[in-house]
């Protein structure tokens, strides 16, 4: 198929060039690059509330959803001078300058590069070592689905309510659910990860048949995994309002707790979400209104300080158990 003529879009004070705008990114729905760019401009206001001043990894699908995706963790070469950056450190200690979205034109520029989802760090560029967001990733395992994640999210909400904390749920764009809690940036990544572990363990304790904190897949069973390692340095989840790499071009969409049990995540896509936003407003508009402390969660962790495995690409951490599957460990005994 011949390339289509480039577009030049005026976005605020910027001109963004969209190359080959008729390139099909999602063949099953016929969604083009132009439509993805237009989608991101339609949701720019709430999306920038999520991304602004955060170092952000771009998940790029340069050949569309059926091609190979990769994570762009450094500012791409040839980026316009108005694309700002934030310096972060990886777990290895190596630094990088990541894209730091500050205006709608950056979203359009990134979409032109084949970016579907934006993966912001839970920090602001003024202090990249102290997260200001606690994130809980509810990941259904084989044999479970979105409805099971909703049930676990209900237990999570009960625990957060008892802690005096407010969580904001969103669909992941697939079968999962993400919940964000604004926290004061007074703790480092290890502390925040420990707080998430403590929170996840309490949910697991209350709903052991529904939820699990087992890192090893062979031990999870048909339960929803509370992925505590999404709180580790350089681990991110797709932001609210991000397009996901699914055949339907679904979107990770903020919802209210009241609506969570009634929605179907497949109903949120690049075609429907702009109208949803116009009709409902941003269900996460209040996320920045109050920041919470981790004192109680860290007390819970101190009472049960069993460290859990980090991802395999991380340096060995203090107190961490062996990174070997339990079944393999048994064979070696």
Q: Are 290 and 182 in contact (CB under 8 A)?
A: yes
Q: Which helix (H) or strand (E) segment is 46 a member of?
A: helix 44-51
Average of per-residue pLDDT across 193-205:
98
Higher pLDDT, 326 or 250: 250
Q: What are phi and psi of 60, to 5 degrees?
A: -105, 135
**For 212-242, what is each residue's pLDDT tens digit?**
999 999 999 999 999 999 999 999 999 999 9
Average of per-residue pLDDT across 294-302:
98
Query: What's the confidence (pLDDT) of residue 318?
Result: 86
Average of per-residue pLDDT across 22-48:
98
Query: What's the confidence (pLDDT) of residue 330?
Result: 62
209 Cα distance to chain centroid: 26
Average of per-residue pLDDT across 199-210:
98
Average of per-residue pLDDT across 195-200:
98
Q: Which helix (H) or strand (E) segment is 195 a member of?
A: helix 189-206
Query: What's the confidence (pLDDT) of residue 282?
Result: 98
Give me the chain's average pLDDT, please: 96
pLDDT above 90 (res 247): yes
Least confident span in 21-25, 152-156, 200-204, 310-314: 310-314
Average of per-residue pLDDT across 149-159:
98
Q: What is the CA radius of gyration of the chain?
A: 20
Instruction: State the Cα–Cα distance between residues 61 and 25, nearest whole angstrom.
Output: 8
Burial 303-330 (b: 16+ CB within 10 A, else e): eeeeebbbeeebeeeeeeeeeeeeeeee
**For 96-146, what is each residue's pLDDT tens digit?**
999 999 999 999 999 999 999 999 999 999 999 999 999 999 999 999 999
Query: What's the confidence (pLDDT) of residue 325?
Result: 82
Q: Are 171 and 179 in contact (CB under 8 A)?
A: no
Average of per-residue pLDDT across 239-252:
98
The pairing of beta strand 70-72 with beta strand 24-26:
unpaired
In residues, how long is the chain? 333
Give the model's confidence band at 1: pLDDT under 50 very low, under 70 low, under 90 confident, else very high: low
**What percentage of the chain exceeds 70 in pLDDT?**
98
Query: What's the confidence (pLDDT) of residue 324?
Result: 84
Average of per-residue pLDDT across 70-77:
97
pLDDT above 60 (res 333): no
CA separation (Å) from 131 to 141, 164, 196, 249? 28, 19, 12, 30
* Strand-pair partners of 8: 17
Query: What's the confidence (pLDDT) of residue 203?
Result: 98
**For 302-328, what is each residue's pLDDT tens digit?**
999 999 999 988 988 888 888 888 777
CA separation (Å) from 185 to 122, 131, 192, 222? 10, 5, 10, 35
Instruction: State the Cα–Cα distance between residues 85 and 136, nearest whole angstrom.
Output: 26
Query: What's the confidence (pLDDT) of residue 331?
Result: 61
**For 273-289, what is each residue's pLDDT tens digit?**
999 999 999 999 999 99
Query: What's the confidence (pLDDT) of residue 292?
Result: 98
Q: Are 82 and 14 in contact (CB under 8 A)?
A: yes
Query: What's the confidence (pLDDT) of residue 5?
Result: 92
pLDDT above 60 (res 71): yes
């Amino acid at each position: 198929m011949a390339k289509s003529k480039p577009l030049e879009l005026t976005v605020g004070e910027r001109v963004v060039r969209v190359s080959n705008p008729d390139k099909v990114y999602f063949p099953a729905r016929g969604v083009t690059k132009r439509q993805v760019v237009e989608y991101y401009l339609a949701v720019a206001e709430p999306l920038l509330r999520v991304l602004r001043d955060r170092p952000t990894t771009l998940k790029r699908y340069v050949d569309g959803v059926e091609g190979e995706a990769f994570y762009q963790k450094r500012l791409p070469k040839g980026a316009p001078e108005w694309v700002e950056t934030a310096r972060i450190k990886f777990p290895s200690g190596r630094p990088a300058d990541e894209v730091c979205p500050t205006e709608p034109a950056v979203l359009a520029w990134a979409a032109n590069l084949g970016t579907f989802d934006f993966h912001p760090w839970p920090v602001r560029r003024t202090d990249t070592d102290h997260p200001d967001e606690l994130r809980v990733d509810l990941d259904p395992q084989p044999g479970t689905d979105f409805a099971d994640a909703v049930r676990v999210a209900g237990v999570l909400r009960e625990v957060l309510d008892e802690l005096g904390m407010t969580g904001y749920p969103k669909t992941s764009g697939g079968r999962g659910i993400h919940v964000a809690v604004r926290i004061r940036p007074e703790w480092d990544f290890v502390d925040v990860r420990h707080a998430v572990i403590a929170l996840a363990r309490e949910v697991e304790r209350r709903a052991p048949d529904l939820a699990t904190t087992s890192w090893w897949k062979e031990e999870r069973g048909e339960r929803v995994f509370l992925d505590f390692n999404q709180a580790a340095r350089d681990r991110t989840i797709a932001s609210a309002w991000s397009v996901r790499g699914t055949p339907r071009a679904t979107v990770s969409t903020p919802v209210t707790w009241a609506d969570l049990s009634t929605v179907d995540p497949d109903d949120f896509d690049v075609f429907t979400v702009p109208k949803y936003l116009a009709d409902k407003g941003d269900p996460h508009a209040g996320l920045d209104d109050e920041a919470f402390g981790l004192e109680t969660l860290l007390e819970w962790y101190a009472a049960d300080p069993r460290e859990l495995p980090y991802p395999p690409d991380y340096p060995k951490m203090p107190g961490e158990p062996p990174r070997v599957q339990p079944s393999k460990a048994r064979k070696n005994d």
